[in-house]
Structure 1
């Protein structure tokens, strides 16, 4: 391990801190992953993209010890840092003692669609927590991939990365394409486009999910734009059986994705 990094104003620390900004991430071709779970999944699933791991000097515990060994085994540079340096590097209000820097893992649109299972499309999703939670749900429900349109939050925003809880490294994700481009690629792949929206005439339990399909999820506040809904094959509504006014984006998306998972794996339902 290198000597302990103790100066929060050092050039290395400033470069890591700069990754909180999208412009710096694009310029450096790097992003920040914070916390034990994110670092573990990075080292286990995509170690070739890891550029460095930073761990709190003197920190003890089985988890951090395990992660340091993983970094060494995978020849990822490992640095011990002081509490002040960890706080300066991290975006989280209460850093968890370890962080990593990695190269982006997104893939080309057509490469992401090369597989089996349902597809998730995010358009105009602006809240980092929602975007990351939907990606985590897509991973858990067995989605083929997640396609994030150019109008949505940056996938590598530290809050998005944290909220995926490591799922960012588990399934293909494509970013930066327009909705018309995404829809054209989905149709070329033989997918039915299902718009998830509260104004839908089709209820989720009545939706045909046994054929290849893509769920389209929109903005947290105003849902899908009319032209996006109109471009889809069907507009689906999650039924509300109680008195709740609505479900938030991440909740509704998870319900829809697990309906797709149940259709694909009926014996597990």
Structure 2
């Protein structure tokens, strides 16, 4: 059992809360039984190390069974060691170290996707995690991150996806103009979500949302630049029927993705 919170091994795991360490090692941190369970279910080969307190390991028999299926041994740790490794204030007793598994932009569009989300300069970890989760729930084929969008392996993003990080391909670090060109070359309409755009309800009535679609979402504070909007096929806005000044980015993205999912399945 690991008992020393200051041991080199514990410090190496704890460093994965920092982007520099994730970039250097190609690894990232998974916290809590939900994230670890989804990784073991959908991408077990990515798991490098598994740590747990004896109490948490006894409690989560499903995680035990999944680890046993791939002969992955757990390293038991004390509560203080787990706290030293974790990014959260109150960790849930199970932590894993996993390999990053991004997908290339080329491979995403070679698979003839019908629905993807493109995130340009999305900076809030909670927003990005929620968009990935919503894209997964809406049946999207991939999520593509461009510009200075937050690292999808940031611990806060990973937790916000509640496991969806392992359910669909995610591309990192692409050039937006190149991504848009590839999307259009794959027969997709690029729809930019922007307050200056046309009413989404009109686009729905015209059948635009039923086509293969790449939704483009911009920065929380300043949205999408005009030159970026010029690259898209359409710019669309969500109508606001009440008194709210605006919608949170992740909420708006969820609605847009589901509108396309509904239209494509109608």
> TM-score band (shorter)?
over 0.9
- Tell me how far 1:72 sits from its aligned partner: 2.2
Q: What pairs up with 1:13-24 in 2 under 5 angstroms?
A: 13-24=10-21
Task: Tell me the TM-score normalised to structure 2 length.
Answer: 0.95
Residue 203 (structure 1) aligned with residue 199 (structure 2): yes
Match of 2:182 among 185, 209, 212: 185
Residues 82-108 of structure 1: per-residue CA shift (max 9 Å, x gap)? 111111111011111111111012111
What runs of 5+ residues in structure 1 fail to find an aligned partner?
none
Give yes or no for contact 1:217–1:253 (8 Å, CA) kept in 2.
Answer: yes
CA–CA separation in structure 2 for the residues paired with 1:61 and 1:76 = 16
What runs of 5+ residues in structure 2 fail to find an aligned partner?
none
Task: Tell me the TM-score normalised to structure 1 length.
Answer: 0.94
SS of equivalent residue, structure 2 residue 209: coil
- Tell me how far 1:117 sits from its aligned partner: 2.3
Residue 123 (structure 1) aligned with residue 131 (structure 2): no
CA–CA separation in structure 2 for the residues paired with 1:177 and 1:215 = 15
CA–CA separation in structure 1 for the residues paired with 2:104 and 2:41 = 22
Aligned length: 261
User: What residue in structure 2 maps to residue 221 of structure 1?
Assistant: 221
User: What residue in structure 2 maps to residue 109 of structure 1?
Assistant: 105
Give yes or no for contact 1:22–1:157 (8 Å, CA) kept in 2.
Answer: yes
- Tell me how far 1:59 sits from its aligned partner: 2.9
SS of equivalent residue, structure 2 residue 55: coil
Residue 247 (structure 1) aligned with residue 244 (structure 2): no
Residue 140 (structure 1) aligned with residue 137 (structure 2): yes
Give yes or no for contact 1:120–1:147 (8 Å, CA) kept in 2.
Answer: yes
Residues 199-257 of structure 1: per-residue CA shift (max 9 Å, x gap)? 11x21122211111110001111111221111111110000001110101000000100
Give yes or no for contact 2:56–2:94 (8 Å, CA) kept in 1.
Answer: no
Supply the RMSD in Å over aligned alpha carbons.
Answer: 1.2
Quick check: 181-190 or 52-61, which moved more?
Answer: 52-61
- Tell me how far 1:61 sits from its aligned partner: 5.5
